[in-house]
Amino acid sequence: MTPSRGQAGQHTRVGTYYLGVDGGNSKTIALIAEPDGGIIGVGRAGCSDIYGAPSVDSALEEIERAVTTAAELSGVALPRVSHGAFSLAGADWPEDFELLRDELTARGLARSVRVLNDAFGALRAGSADGTGVAVVVGTGAALGARAGNGRSWHTSWWQEPQGSRQLAEMALRAICRSELGIDPPTTMTGHALRVFDRASVESMLHLLTRRERAGRPRPTPLTAVLLAEAETGDAVAREIVYRHGSALGDFALAAARRVGLSGEPFSLVLSGGVFKAQGRLLQRSLCERVLAHEPHVVPVTPCYEPAVGALLLAFDAAGTAVDSHIESRLLATLPSPTVFATDP
């Protein structure tokens, strides 16, 4: 896309614009769109989870950095942004919503600020009417549900750690137990050693757990190893992934019950980087669990990223119907997929 001011430096766009922000622990993405749905500004920053960032101020600064970057590239002065929807990890308890609304409004990021838990940007990205259940599995996990009557619920601190971090930790534990002869051999071992360039499991374990934190890598690359080996048939990996998917399914069912969706057809939106990894056992086991209790559920892989879902929530907040023209403009102006990647 061509930025109006960033390139020419001569003028600021006039009119009314919409802002969508998806904020998490790995990254924060801001999108600014024209009323016809055309995306004209993109900004990216770091962790904006008020629980996961070094401080609340740090989290807020990352949100502001993403938004101001998008505004500068688009040539849109922030007072021209009529509605902003902020779908944020860390928007959990009532006081969190109040703090975030007040702070984001005070910083002038939009004239009208709407704050939601990060599960709802993902839900809107995969559900045309914004209803159903969203299961988001990235660095962490988040689930959100909304019924047609507007009743909504998100797992927040009810949620058990079911994201990439936990999957990687379970893979590492399984590799170590296999090495000690406690559990059966697993093909994950050889792949994991190559990922971390180590000759032995003990050397890899030392690398990942040593007291000196400087230069110590995170075990999260093991998630991709786990999912890939589960798909190829490794029994140890398959057992971990299948149990994990079933557990996520239990939370999806609980979310549906909380908002009164049980017994009704609804969209089950599967979003997040882990679902994009090689292998589909995690999705299959999750859907099997849900469909065993709710046979009319429709699993959905969204064509939009959660940040686009947040943008659509801004259109909804403004009372602007998202018709086929707006949809086509969104699709035509989507940023490169690398913008949304955890490691671009």
For residue range 109-133, what is the model confidence (pLDDT) as tens digits? Answer: 999 999 999 999 999 999 999 999 9
Structure tokens at 160: 């058990």
CATH 3.30.420.40 residue ranges in the chain?
A: 4-125+303-340, 164-300
Separation between Cα atoms, residue 96 and residue 62, nearest integer Å: 16
Structure tokens at 54: 């070094």
For strand 81-88 and strand 141-146, is the pairing parallel, antiparallel, or unpaired?
A: unpaired
What is the pLDDT, as a whole number, of residue 12?
A: 57
Query: Which of the residue ranges 3-12, 95-104, 206-215, 225-234 would you say has the lowest mean pLDDT?
Result: 3-12
Better pLDDT: 195 or 4:
195
For residue range 230-277, what is the model confidence (pLDDT) as tens digits? Answer: 999 999 999 999 999 999 999 999 999 999 999 999 999 999 989 988
Considering the four listed CATH numbers 3.30.420.40, 3.30.450.40, 3.40.630.30, 1.20.1560.10, the one that applies to the domain covering 164-300 is: 3.30.420.40
CB neighbours of 193 closer than 8 A, spacing ≥ 6? Answer: 199, 200, 201, 204
Q: Is residue 11 predicted with pLDDT exceeding 50?
A: no
- The answer to whether the beta carbons of residues 300 and 126 sit under 8 Å apart is yes
Question: For 323-332, what is the mean pLDDT?
Answer: 95
Class for the domain spanning 4-125+303-340? alpha beta
The dihedrals phi and psi of 204, each to the nearest 5 degrees, come to -65, -45
Q: How many residues does the chain have?
A: 344
